[in-house]
Amino acid sequence: MVDPAIKKLRDLSSDYVLPFQLVESGLRGRFVRLDNSVDKILGQHNYPEIPSVLLGEALALTAILSATVKFNGKFSLQAQSQSQAAMRTLVADVDTAGHLRGYVGFDPEAVKELDENSTLARIFGGGYLAFTVERGGGEGRYQGIVPLEGETLADSVHHYFRQSEQIPTGIRLACHKNPDGRWCAAGLLVQRVPDSGGEPIAGGDHFPQTDPENWEQDEGYMRAMALMSTLKDNEMTLENLSPEKLLFQLFHEDGVRIWEPTSITGECACPPKKFHELLGRLPRQEVNECKVDGVVSVTCEFCGKMESFDDAALDKIFSDI
């Protein structure tokens, strides 16, 4: 009989988040593989390579971090520059149904001056990284913010877990274009989450924290970090290397236990009346000033969907308020 987790992995084949545990050390982890979803998102935007790679990594990171949080709503990641740098903003979010989306704002001329070895500091010129959990049903909203530090996006997130959550965490991210021209991305997260309750990026003060100064005394964690450092980026996205085999190759000494994966899709979860509600929250005069050739056009920055409203449509929107 095929294990249910393996069967679901085979059924999904791609675009999933796979939870796992290292049995001997007790570490928990998530592995995310994005193929169709990230190719759809990056293909819609058609950004230059460097913004595309960074967004692909952010999409993998968003999917993987959201899977560590119990919520019914939306998890989002935002990187914001505080200077006149090549990249101004990066936004990615995913809801509990697995709808993943993202976009970046950048200076096209400044991006041309970057190369594949450009650090996060050079790309953004400083700024901050924010994680936001929006829980539905009146459960509230939590946001964690950390400076954009380190050479990569993974470095900056590691700094967040070290300084804000104080949860021993290691992260690897990868994004590239395959020879067939299709984008793919992947991510691996391993962390020491105490069994006594709580969750990372939860905003609660009940979670037992670990002093970062003591992380090096955790043999299981340090062993996992050393093994993760041997992993090549392209190994995480190889089509002929299944996730369970990849995890076994890395962590077989600890023993790996996997659970059923959750699916991810690159479909933007735009509400049917998103633009109607957006315009309805603005003063009518302000909306009228945005008209071009008698219509107001609104575009979703995530998926590029555009809708235009003439006077009759605007009258309907504001009469329903």
Which band of pLDDT confidence, cut at 50, 70 and 90, is reported for residue 181? very high
Tell me the helices (H) and strands (E) count for the chain, helix number first: 11, 13
Q: Please answer whether residues 142 and 202 qualify as being in contact, where contact means their C-beta atoms are separated by less than 8 angstroms.
A: yes
Q: What is the mean pLDDT of residues 312-317?
A: 76
Provide the pLDDT for residue 198: 43
The two three-digit tokens of residue 11, written as one number:
């059924």
Which band of pLDDT confidence, cut at 50, 70 and 90, is reported for residue 105? very high
pTM of the model: 0.86
pLDDT in tens, 194-251: 653 445 665 544 445 566 667 778 899 999 999 999 998 889 998 888 899 999 999 9
Q: Which residue has the tokens 């929006």?
A: 134
Q: Which residue has the tokens 């392209």?
A: 234
* Domains of the chain listed by start with CATH number: 4-263 (3.55.30.10), 274-319 (3.90.1280.10)
Q: Please answer whether residues 298 and 279 qualify as being in contact, where contact means their C-beta atoms are separated by less than 8 angstroms.
A: yes
Q: What is the mean pLDDT of residues 32-53?
A: 95
